[in-house]
Amino acid sequence: MVNVHNRHINSLYRKTSFPGIGGAAYLLYLSRSLAATCGTVCLLLWLVALRYGAFQRRSQRLYQNFLADTNQARAGSAVNPGYLCGERKPANSANLLSRRRWSP
């Protein structure tokens, strides 16, 4: 099964790389300045993709760490058992009625 996948990947590389190399060679034959411009644009796009990928991995790691920290806080501690920092504990009905201010 692995050999089947390897052959498929190899044929995929072969089918995409040969026309790409041929197209670049033909572009060089037609116009060297246009080939240089296309190469520069491709290089810049590749660099932007690398930077964006690094940014995406870093932001995802920060998000997962933040999510893990909130899950730990939610699990409870001696100071704040089972509630996040901004959450209020549910009040029972007796405390809720005693806190209300009734206007005449």
Residue-level pLDDT at 11: 78
Q: Where are the domains of the chain?
A: 1-30, 32-75
Residue-level pLDDT at 9: 73
Residue 80 CB coordination number (10 Å): 13
Q: For residue 44, which phi and psi values (nearest 5 degrees)?
A: -65, -40
Residue-level pLDDT at 79: 52
Mean per-residue pLDDT pooled into runs of 10, the chain (104 residues): 65 81 92 94 96 96 89 62 53 51 52
In three-state form (DSSP H/G/I as H, E/B as E, the rest C), the secondary structure along the chain is CHHHHHHHHHHHHHHHHHHHHHHHHHHHHHCHHHHHHHHHHHHHHHHHHHHHHHHHHHHHHHHHHHHHHHHHHHHCCCCCCCCCCCCCCCCCHHHHHHHCCCCC
Residue-level pLDDT at 16: 81
Residue-level pLDDT at 55: 96
